[in-house]
């Protein structure tokens, strides 16, 4: 998932970027509001983490821009401000959560995961798919109680992203942008997406058929979930 970190404390920014990148988030960093404003207006993100105390910008104004230009993004306010009014204003403007400084990176990750589950209508972090269970918190695919250890991080990311968009066909470009941070050119060879899907099926077929992973000919792929 694509994350924009807007924070002027460079040490904290580096910690967040390293931690989230290590947990398969694709991170971009801005140290001021002006640069963040440009990125928000031109790029799409899954998460936008906004420090209210920016040197050149009111964080609440940036939050307004985020909700205007990135309405699908989940926004989390990061701030050392203790005033309840700031917290209320941020939530009233559409922020999905509020995290006061100093905070634990594990708590940040936990809140992002909780927002993701709410956003995509998942009641639990472990989702059954046929004879498999997808553990979104521990980032693992299990057959009954056995972890399918052959699945790589990127292969898991593909399955998890399609699961979040369950029953919806995702194009190769969408998968590439959200998993690798780049868009597949339709005129270029996009076989690496197909190769990853083929590998996932091969590894899961050792245990059981992943018939919930469907190829939509001419369009892309989807994960089918029976609610």
Q: Give residue 189's pLDDT.
A: 46
* Mean pLDDT in order along the chain per 10 residues (227 residues): 94 96 92 95 93 91 95 91 74 90 93 91 88 93 94 93 93 83 51 90 96 93 87
CA Rg, the chain, in Å?
19
Question: What predicted TM-score, i.e. pTM, was given to this entire model?
Answer: 0.82
* Long-range CB contact pairs, 135-143, < 8 A, 24+: 136/160, 136/163, 137/113, 139/23, 139/24, 141/204, 143/204, 143/207, 143/208
The one-character DSSP state at 58 is B
Domain ranges (residues) in the chain: 2-119, 126-223
Question: Three-state DSSP class for 46?
Answer: coil
Is residue 64 within 8 Å of 50, Cβ to Cβ?
no
Give pLDDT tens digits for 167-211.
999 998 888 887 777 554 444 445 888 999 999 999 999 999 999
CATH fold of the domain at 2-119: Rossmann fold (3.40.50)
CB 76 within 8 A of CB 99: yes
Domain 126-223: assigned CATH number: 1.10.10.10
Residue range 136-149, pLDDT digits in tens: 988 999 998 899 99
Looking at residue 25, the DSSP 8-state letter turns out to be -
């Amino acid at each position: 998932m694509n994350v924009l970190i807007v924070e002027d404390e460079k040490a904290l920014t580096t910690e967040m970027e390293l931690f989230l990148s290590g947990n398969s988030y694709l991170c971009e960093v801005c140290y001021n509001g002006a640069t963040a404003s440009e990125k928000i207006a031109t790029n799409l993100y899954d998460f936008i983490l906004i420090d209210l105390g920016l040197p050149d910008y009111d964080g609440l104004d940036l939050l307004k821009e985020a909700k205007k230009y990135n309405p699908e993004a989940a926004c989390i306010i990061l701030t050392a401000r203790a005033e309840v009014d700031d917290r209320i204003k941020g939530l009233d403007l559409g922020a999905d959560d509020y995290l006061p400084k100093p905070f634990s990176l594990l708590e940040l990750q936990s809140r992002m995961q909780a927002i993701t589950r709410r956003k995509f209508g998942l009641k639990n972090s472990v989702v059954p798919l046929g004879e498999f269970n997808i553990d979104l918190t521990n980032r693992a695919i299990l057959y009954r109680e056995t972890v399918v250890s052959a699945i790589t991080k990127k292969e898991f990311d593909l399955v998890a992203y399609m699961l979040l968009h369950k029953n919806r066909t995702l194009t190769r470009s969408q998968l590439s942008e959200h998993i690798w941070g780049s868009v597949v050119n339709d005129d270029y060879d996009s076989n690496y997406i197909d190769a990853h899907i083929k590998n996932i099926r091969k590894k899961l077929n050792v245990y059981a058929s992943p018939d919930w992973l469907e190829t939509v000919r001419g369009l892309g792929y989807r994960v089918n979930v029976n609610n």
